Amino acid sequence: MALIACPECGRKVSDQAAACPQCAYPLAQAIVEPVGRDGQLQPVETVELTGKRWKTMKAYAAVLFVVGMLLMFSSVSNGSPTAMIFGILILLGSLILGVRAAIGQWWHHR
């Protein structure tokens, strides 16, 4: 029995574990059976936890989006290029996070 790093959160987990205890990433399935991604072997708890995770991610994306928009607007009103760059970066980050969450939700849906 060895410890491996979880591909999702990086936490050290036993290679015998079916899922990461921290983020519920389905470890055994990902490593032993990369083809079996239809969720057939996943326990129900894992699927629910994963769904919650994507929802949380979507919520973060929405918050980031609002923050990015606010930064953009404030940079326009006070002419600060730094705030503009940060605003664009945060907006991009929120979009990437949102897309990732949408894909993840769709991927784990059944």
Sites of contact with Zn ion (CB under 5 A):
6, 8-9, 11, 20, 22-23, 25
Of the candidates 65, 63, 47, the residue with the CA atom closest to the CA atom of residue 105: 47
Q: Quick one: 30 or 41, whose CB is closer to Zn ion?
A: 30
Residues 6+ apart with CB under 8 A from 92: 68
Q: Quick one: 13 or 90, whose CB is closer to Zn ion?
A: 13
Smallest gap from Cβ 25 to Zn ion, in A, equals 5
CB-count exposure of residue 87 (10 Å: 0-12, 13-18, 19+): buried
Smallest gap from Cβ 16 to Zn ion, in A, equals 15
Smallest gap from Cβ 106 to Zn ion, in A, equals 20
Q: Quick one: 8 or 95, whose CB is closer to Zn ion?
A: 8
Residues 6+ apart with CB under 8 A from 73: none
